[in-house]
Chains A and B, each alone.
Chain A
Amino acid sequence: MSLTDRYIDAVLRRLPNKQRAEIERELRASIADAMEDQSETEVLTELGDPAKLAAGYADRPLQLIGPRFYLDYTRVLSALLATIVPAVAAITGLIRALDAAPVGQIITGTLGAAFTTALHVVFWTTLAFAAIERLPDLQRELSKPWQLSDLPEPPSRKAKFAELVALTVVTVLTASLILLSPRLSWETDANGQPIGVLSPWLWETGMVYVFVAVASTGLLVAFARYYLKWTVPLTIVATLVDLAAPLLLIWLTVTDHVLNPAFVAAAGLSGGTVRVINIVLILTAIGTILSSVIEAFKRVRR
């Protein structure tokens, strides 16, 4: 088999069946013509990579995703990554936590699930867009011209201020209730002293003050957000502070340090009820984490 035969084979292999005969005939003639002036090696070297020549004949794009769909691709990809990955991670973490797995296992399981999900999201999104790039009919359906109305709405300062006020009220109320809870309980012990809803462990270790401090810092950061100019470092710090309180809450719930066992006994709560309370607490924390992460993504993109 000559070099020319091998070269032509390599080109034809990459072409649709019905085009092969014609292109082979033409290419053979052109190569033979050129070889009257140059050596076979020179001619074939000049023709270059057979895959590239075949792509030219078949009118195939030499890029995975072209400029027409690249922006849509990055938009879809980041939207999917920012929503699906944290959601799957949170659900995995929750299930492990409810199975009373050790903290180490909860963390590795959650990270593993997040990583696998991210890989899947990236792979399938890329595959879908690479397919669109190669299907002209679908392209016509999908490509919409950009319009001015697609511009994102500017955030309203008034609405943000209302959010800030609401956050302040909720934080102050929650912190007060937590700090006063040992004296506010309706269950009393043999001496008529109230039995706190929250675990005395929180006070013994000072954890309750840590929790209140973290929540207050969150409030402080919210004010900084409203009054200071936005920068990426500030967004990162704010997001980390936002995440601290719900993460702490999840850890306290998982390690069973939220409810006072004495209160549970006195109020006659069943194991099932305690479980439901724990799940509600964890879901609330996960909701907070999700909204913080989504908010941070929006900020960074602006």
Chain B
Amino acid sequence: MLEDELVAAHLQELRRGTVVLACLLVLREQNYGYALLDLLEKRGFGVDANTLYPLLRRLEKQGLLSSDWNTEEARPRKFYRTSEQGLELAAALTRDWDQLDAAFRTLKGEQ
């Protein structure tokens, strides 16, 4: 019987980095922090708020996301959107993911 802690540690290791790709893909449509948190959760990419918020800022600083303050509604919100560069990176990461997936299938003996 595997220990839960051990499984959790390896899962975390495996998932590290997938949140970036998920953000880049989901933000092809602009969105703001809290709604994004909710959306990612629904799409199967559970991520903590204290990880996501700094990550959005970091991706923006790297030029992979662009942002706009929407002040029209009662509460001003910062909307993020994947930039041109971000789309390029998303394409590269997706290719890599697909290759990995194919490689795993081969390893497992599937065609």
Contact with A along B59-102 (1 / 0, CB 8 A): 00000000001000001111000000000000000000000000
Q: How far is the CA of A117 from the CA of B57 in the complex (A)?
A: 45
Residues of A within 8 A of B32 (CB): 29-30, 33
Counting chain B CB atoms within 10 Å of each CB, the highest count among A23, A26, A46 belongs to: A26
Q: Is the CB of B50 within 8 A of A26?
A: no
- Please give the distance in Å from A32's CB to the nearest CB on chain B: 6
Flag A1-40 by CB within 8 Å of B: 1 or 0 each. Answer: 0000000000000000000000101110110111000000
Instruction: Given A25-B76, A25-B78, A57-B57, decide whether A30 and B50 contact each other with a Cβ distance below 8 A.
Output: no
Measured between beta carbons, the chain B residues less than 8 angstroms from A23 are: 57
Given contacts A29-B76, A53-B53, contact A46 B48 (CB under 8 A): yes
Nearest to A29 among chain B residues (CB) is B77
B54 contacts partner chain A, Cβ-Cβ < 8 Å: yes
Residue in contact with A46 in the complex, picked from B49, B55, B57, B78, CB distance below 8 Å: B49
Q: Which residues on the A side are within 8 Å of B76 (C-beta)?
A: 25, 29
B75 contact from A27, A29, A53, A57, Cβ within 8 A: A29
Question: Which of B34, B58, B77 has most A Cβ within 10 Å?
Answer: B34
B51 interfacial contact with A, CB 8 Å: yes
Q: Is the beta-carbon distance between A29 and B54 smaller than 8 angstroms? A: no
Beta-carbon nearest neighbor of A23 in chain B: B57
17 A-B pairs with CB atoms under 8 Å apart are: A25-B78, A29-B33, A29-B76, A29-B77, A29-B78, A30-B32, A30-B34, A30-B53, A33-B32, A33-B33, A33-B75, A46-B49, A47-B49, A52-B50, A56-B50, A56-B53, A57-B57
Contact present for B57 and A30 (CB under 8 Å) = no
Residues of A with C-beta under 8 A to B54: 53, 56-57, 59
Residues of chain A with a CB closer than 8 A to B50's CB: 46-48, 52-53, 56
- In Å, the complex CA distance between A29 and B32 comes to 9
A32 touches B75 (CB 8 A): yes
B64 to chain A, nearest CB (A): 15
Majority DSSP secondary structure for residues of B touching A: helix
Most A-side CB within 10 Å, residue of B51, B55, B57, B58: B57
Q: Would A56 and B51 be within 8 Å (CB), given that A29-B78, A32-B75 are in contact?
A: yes
Pick the residue among B49, B57, B69, B78 that contacts A34 (CB under 8 A): B49
A60 to chain B, nearest CB (A): 10
In whole angstroms, what is the CA distance A85 to B34 when docked? Answer: 56
B35 within 8 A of A: yes
| Alpha-carbon separation in the docked complex, A234 to B40 (Å) | 61
Determine the chain A residues whose CB is within 8 A of the CB of B35 once the complex forms.
33
Q: Distance in Å from the Cβ of A266 to the closest Cβ of chain B?
A: 80
Q: How close is B50's CB to chain A, nearest CB, in angstroms?
A: 5
* Contact pattern, B 22-53, Cβ under 8 Å of A = 1, otherwise 0: 00000000001111000000000000111101
Nearest 4 pairs between A and B by C-beta? A56-B54, A33-B34, A30-B33, A57-B54
In the complex, what residues of B have CB within 8 A of residue A48's CB? 48, 50
User: What separation, in Å, do the CA atoms of A59 and B57 have in the docked complex?
Assistant: 10
Known: A25-B78, A29-B76, A59-B58. A34 touches B53 (CB 8 A): no
Nearest CB of A to B111, in Å: 39
